[in-house]
Amino acid sequence: MAAALTPSPLSGLGSFAEDVQTGDFPMLQPDQIMSGERPMPSGFQPWFEAALPELAEVMSWYPEALRGDSAAHNDLRPDNLLIDTASQCWTVDWNWLSLAPPWFDWVGLLPIAQYQGIDTAAAIQRSPLTADVPADHLDCFAAVVAAYMLTNLDAPPPPGCTPEIRRHQRLFAWTFLDWLAIRRGWYDRY
């Protein structure tokens, strides 16, 4: 998919890195939790609070780490990949299309793959999309997604949504944080 979408064959797409800066992305969320402006989300790993300063630092690398010219799905996850009876994979739900690095969508699948028991460190080394990408760039992406998923996590669901949206959000926040913790040694340090 990345080969067909790099460089983007579509004109007029916004940049994910710019969206992070100007959009709904909670770039200040870790700082706000540390200052008490936002509550500490419940039910997370015991090291989470101690890792907040590093999470904020890793997120700050986004202008360089998340810059790219590929058309990215920007919400690729297992339920947006459909396999038909001929074993053809179809990618659906292209609501958040933006410009990002070629590895962007692939890396977005890795925390859930790790949650399912897949060795994602080996997958990163084997894939031509990520083999030469700085580890900090991959970690920055995961940190930004984790912070986004932490937003309003303990609040009631938005009107018209079921409580499942918060469970989904919590699972993704937890898995992206867990992936970061393994990669950055947070389980050992915090």
Structural contact between residues 3 and 128, judged by C-beta atoms closer than 8 angstroms: no
Is pLDDT at 69 greater than 90 in this prediction?
A: yes
Half-sphere exposure (CA, 13 Å, Cβ side) for 24?
A: 6
Q: How far apart are the first and last CA of the chain?
A: 38
What pLDDT score was predicted for residue 131?
93
Determine the pLDDT at residue 29.
83
Mean of pLDDT values over 115-131 = 96
* Token pair belonging to 116: 């399912």
CATH no. of 16-189: 3.90.1200
| pTM score | 0.92
The C-alpha torsion from 112 through 186 and 60 to 166, rounded to 10°, is 40
Across the chain, what does the average pLDDT equal? Answer: 94
Q: Quickly state the pLDDT bin for 89 (edges 50, 70, 90).
A: very high
pLDDT at residue 170 tops 80: yes
Report the C-alpha gap between 143 and 161 in whole angstroms: 26
Q: Which pLDDT band, with edges at 50, 70 and 90, does 92 fall under?
A: very high
Looking at the chain, the whole-number percentage of residues with pLDDT higher than 90 is 83
Query: What's the whole-number mean pLDDT along residues 171-180?
Result: 96
Average pLDDT over residues 149-175: 93
Mean pLDDT of all residues in 112-136: 96
Ordered by start, the domain boundaries in the chain are 16-189
